[in-house]
Amino acid sequence: MLIDLHVHTSRYSMCAKEPAEAILAMAFERGLDAVVLTEHNVIWPDKTFLPLRDKFPGLKIFRGVEIHTSEGEDLLVYGMTDTSPFGENPTTTHVMNVARTTGAAVVLAHPLRYRESIADGLYASPPDACECWSLNICAFQRPGILAFQAATGCGLIAATDSHSTRLLGAYALRFHNPIQSEQDLVHALHNRAYTPFQNDTMLTEFERSLPDRVAYVRRAVAEGLDRQAIHDHIGCSFSFIEHIKAGRYPSLMDEK
């Protein structure tokens, strides 16, 4: 069962580019069995989630949430229906304590995207897993992620962190058993009953486009364009732009 655990929509995530209906339709078209909607600090309420789910009977749709912490980490939480226990601007330790108390599962999203190191609190209280393959994780970041995994023993997952349909389906998890509910999902994450998946065809096409995209960003930066203008023109993330400005090549795929 192929599931993308990290997807945003324009309904509740301001940074997303497309509505849930477009993203879910594309997920079904590209062969995903399920999608988890993980908006920033918001869990889809029943009044909007249930009608949305009914529109896509051939696709399972679950809810999670991406919680931003005071240290600048982002934690994906699965198995909760209310964000109020986290409070405002929580620490990673507080998020992990809430998750452990409620039985939720936690995944560290795009490690090292905004920080040079992973927050100390996550070494003391590790998540169930961390993303190792994502549209917002470059190959040069992977050694640091693998070092965190080796130090903590957490699992490693693949998920797109999609904000549009463009590369939806490039990464996912293949679960070993059917996932019929959010509690099934939590149980599988706790027990690491999954295998990371990547769509090599989609990723190879992206890599082929990368030199032109990098060249454009370099020209745009030299001409004084700001990040928002560059982002609006080619649809790349701010972190993609910052990597290029810092002289790092933002390839998603490891060298073979």
Q: Is residue 256 scored above 70 in pLDDT? A: no
Residue 232: its pLDDT value, please? 85
pLDDT score at 235: 81
Q: What is the DSSP letter of 254?
A: P
DSSP state of 97: H
**Distant-in-sequence contacts of 176-181, Cβ < 8 A, 24+ apart:** 177/1, 178/1, 179/1, 179/3, 179/34, 179/60, 179/62, 180/60, 181/62
The per-residue pLDDT for range 70-94, each reduced to its tens digit, is: 999 999 999 999 999 999 999 999 9
pLDDT of residue 63: 98
pTM: 0.96
**pLDDT per position as a tens digit, 196-214:** 999 999 999 999 999 999 9
Task: Determine the pLDDT at residue 250.
Answer: 93
Predicted local distance difference test score (pLDDT) of residue 15? 87
- Which stretch of 127-141, 181-195, 241-255 has the lowest confidence by average pLDDT? 241-255
pLDDT at 35 over 70: yes
Q: Is the torsion defined by CA of 206, 210, 216, 217 positive or negative?
A: positive
Say whether pLDDT at 159 is over 60: yes
Q: Residue 53's pLDDT is what?
A: 96
Side-chain half-sphere exposure of 120, counting CA atoms within 13 A: 0
Domain boundaries defined on the chain = 2-198, 205-245
Residue 165 has pLDDT above 80, yes or no: yes
Q: Name residues whose C-beta falls within 8 Å of residue 55's C-beta, 6 or more positions apart in sequence.
A: 21, 24
Report the CATH fold assignment for 2-198: TIM Barrel (3.20.20)
- Are 71 and 38 spatial neighbours (Cβ–Cβ below 8 Å)? no
End-to-end CA distance of the chain: 28
